[in-house]
Amino acid sequence: MEHVFSQTDFIVLEVLALLASFLSFGVACALRQNNGETRHRKILKALLPIPFGTTLWTIHFTAMLRTVGSENMSVSIVHCLASFAIVMAGVFLSLKVIDRRFPYSNYIAGFVFGLGIVLSHIINKNSIHSLHGCPTRNVHNATDILGVVLLGLSFVLLWSSILGYFLDYYGTKKVLSHLKSMATTDRLTGLANRNCLDEQFPDILKNAKHRNRTIGCLIVDLNNFKDINDQYGHLCGDEVLRTMGKNLGNHFRHRDIFIARLGGDEFVALCPYDNMEGLQTCAQELRDLLCQPSEIESMPLTVGCSIGISLFPSDGDTQNILMKKADQAMYEIKKKRISGISFYRDLPRP
């Protein structure tokens, strides 16, 4: 089915592009003002592809007709509807993909978006190719100039809307990343906190089971730390913990060892190992780091530590069991009032 294009059709398309671009700009601005995943924000994000896609297709289609079209031309309505549907689908899918926030989502969204534009361009161009022999249109009168101005303004508004949307996306992503970091990081030591431990522990065990690896669960309790708090104050004690966290983070940063602060003066480490000597070495390194003197206000402060170790999978295969048994081993060495390392498997059985 063919439609003969008139000057009125050009004006209608150009006004439609301008209105859709204004709507895109308004929705993008509204998204910037609505923080958080509210119902209103979700509705705006669901509607955004409609003005985005409409503006994009209308600008492209009209510009193509003005550039490569001819006087008294006709176009296939089926081709127009097909190219419009492809652009709308490309915009919708690309925005959905980028909102998923998975690795490389930006690149995949860009590919989907670009593919929609390319396919639409090919369909539109093929519909115009049937009009050979007629003189090419030129921008030669006031109406044509006005149309170009309207298309240019529509494009500027569309680009502003897209830019606003991506600023909103990356701003939200940054805020969410910051909130997640706050929720999973111990503010004093910079290590993982209990929330992060509870989140990561099952995954670490699952991965170890899948790869047939063994894991040492180490629970560490500082000795005589209360004396530092009582004698020098809690601020001094906090500085000792902060120094310990920094030392642990720097030493184990590039190794496959997870370390978290349980709270107070207790820490936990999950250490993959191939043999007991390797696990013993890891525990010794951990103890040596924690027992290093911390110089606070020119005062060298030293604490000891007791380390209890349980083994996955021989001592247990869940977080609760492994931590409970490592805790028992830790208290066994703590009873002796010395810094040392104790394995649950070596404890006397009742």
Domain spans of the chain, in order of start: 2-182, 194-346
| Predicted confidence band of residue 118 (pLDDT cuts 50, 70, 90) | confident
Residue 269 has pLDDT above 70, yes or no: yes
- Residues 329-349, mean pLDDT to the nearest whole number: 86
- The more confidently predicted of residues 92 and 4 is 92
Place of tokens 């190992």: 273
Quote the CA–CA distance of 175 and 169 in Å, as a whole number.
10
Q: Contact 45/99 with Cβ under 8 angstroms?
A: yes
Rounded Cα distance between 162 and 324, Å, is: 53
What is the percent of the chain where pLDDT is above 90?
A: 22
Confidence of residue 268 (pLDDT cuts 50, 70, 90): very high
pLDDT tens sequence across 37-82: 677 777 888 888 898 889 888 888 888 777 765 556 778 888 888 9
Residue 130 predicted with pLDDT over 70: no
Helix (H, G, I), strand (E, B) or coil at 252: helix
Q: From CA 149, how far away is CA 130, in angstroms rounded?
A: 28
8 Å CB contact between 65 and 10: yes
The CATH superfamily holding the domain 194-346 is Reverse transcriptase/Diguanylate cyclase domain (3.30.70.270)
Distance CA 267, CA 270 (A): 10
Q: Which pLDDT does position 25 carry in this prediction?
A: 82
Write out the two tokens for 310.
């349980």
Neighbouring C-beta atoms of residue 244, cutoff 10 Å: 26
pLDDT at 138: 46
